[in-house]
Structure 1
Amino acid sequence: MLVLPDEAATLALGAALAAVSPEGGLAVHLTGDLGAGKTTLVRGWLRELGHSGAVKSPTYTLVESYQVAGRRVHHFDLYRLTDPEELEYLGLDGYFDGTALCLVEWPERGGGMLGSPDLSIRLTVAGEGREARLQGLSEAGRAWIAALANRLEMND
């Protein structure tokens, strides 16, 4: 578990995850209550990759796509999804094609349509700050967490 005392720490975690991200297509599931910091984490991630524009939660569009640092990144927010079958209309195969980084908020709303992620991040409110629990669910995800741990140790 990582303690994130403020928004800056959540942004910094997103940046650190981006800095040590493995190459290739990866899926990350971001879970937590409303206001837990999922979009803030994604904002830090995208800024680290070089995106300088606005990063807002794609609550109504369901997905925002970015081309940054020579990489395609798709940011999903499934909060308003009423039925997992609605994802069929999005053309998920085109996003989860094995080459892009897919960051998915509210993945539980997608039912079994999304498959297993490489990395799962659960954010919870803890007083004025947040707590983050990361779990690698693939070989790439476990290597990612190890690289993150090494990076965080070097910054202490």
Structure 2
Amino acid sequence: MNRQRWALADESATDALGRCFAAALAGAGMVIYLHGDLGAGKTTFARALLGALEVGERIKSPTYSLIEGYAAQGRPAWHLDLYRIADPGELEWLGLDALADPAALVLVEWPERGRGALPAPDLTLHLAYAGAGRQVQLEAHTARGRDLLQRLR
């Protein structure tokens, strides 16, 4: 199974999805791309996922810093927001080598702005408005992504 679609009635449903992801990760590293319009729930999802992994500190939006790093249950976790990036070359000074760690959890908002400078995704979330709520389509790109989708069922 490579795809799933979920309806998210409100922000608390997006938060619950993030917590479900944390439980389904089962200690595995994962690169997750988060696509969606402004306000579609990318940061809400990322905060819920990181919070459920008990990062033990305030989870900040990386809109201005571009990247925030955490220790999540003994493994590195990175949250990137590339909205303000005009060219992937701007990412060179961020030291993105750490993102290649197979044990790391990497969450990337606006990944299309970092094309070529980011590790390939295991999973992509496409968040979209659906009436008063949201809809998310999950798409696995690797065996790790497919395993996660299977655990989410």
Same fold flag (TM > 0.5): yes
Give the counterpart of 1:78 among 73, 77, 82. 82
* AA aligned opposite 1:57: S
Q: Distance in 2 between matches of 1:19 and 1:60?
A: 29
Given the alignment of the two structures, is residue 91 of structure 1 paired with residue 95 of structure 2, yes or no?
A: yes
**Offset at residue 55 of structure 1 (A):** 2.3
SS of the equivalent of 1:73 reads strand
Name 2:37's counterpart in structure 1. 33
Which residue of structure 1 aligns with residue 106 of structure 2?
Answer: 102
> How many Å apart are 1:130 and its aligned residue?
0.6
Which one-letter code corresponds to 1:139 in the other structure? Answer: A
> Is contact 1:42–1:103 with CA below 8 Å preserved after alignment?
yes
User: Quick one: which amino acid aligns to residue 70 of structure 1?
Assistant: G
Corresponding residue of 1:143: 147
For the residue of structure 2 that corresponds to 1:113, the secondary structure is coil
**Length-normalised TM-score, structure 1:** 0.90
Match of 1:152 in 2: none
Q: Hey, what does 1:121 align to over in structure 2?
A: 125
Identity over aligned pairs, percent: 49
Report how far residue 128 of structure 1 moved.
Answer: 1.5
By relative contact order (CA 8 Å, sep 6+), the higher-ranking structure is 2
| Paired residues, number | 149
- Aligned CA RMSD, in angstroms, stands at 1.3
TM-score, length of structure 2 as denominator length: 0.92
**In 2, are the aligned partners of 1:22 and 1:140 still within 8 Å (CA)?**
no
Distance (whole Å) between structure 1 residues aligned to residue 98 and residue 53 of structure 2: 22
Q: Counterpart amino acid of 1:47?
A: G
CA 130–52 in structure 1, closer or farther in 2 if over 3 Å, else same: farther
Structure 2: which 5+ runs fail to align? none
1:16-71 CA deviation, whole Å, 9 max, x = no partner?
A: 01101143432100000000000000111012111354323201111011112112
**Partner in structure 2 of residue 46 of structure 1:** 50
How far did residue 114 of structure 1 move?
1.4
Structure 1 residue 96, shift from structure 2 partner: 2.3
- Higher helix share goes to which structure? 1
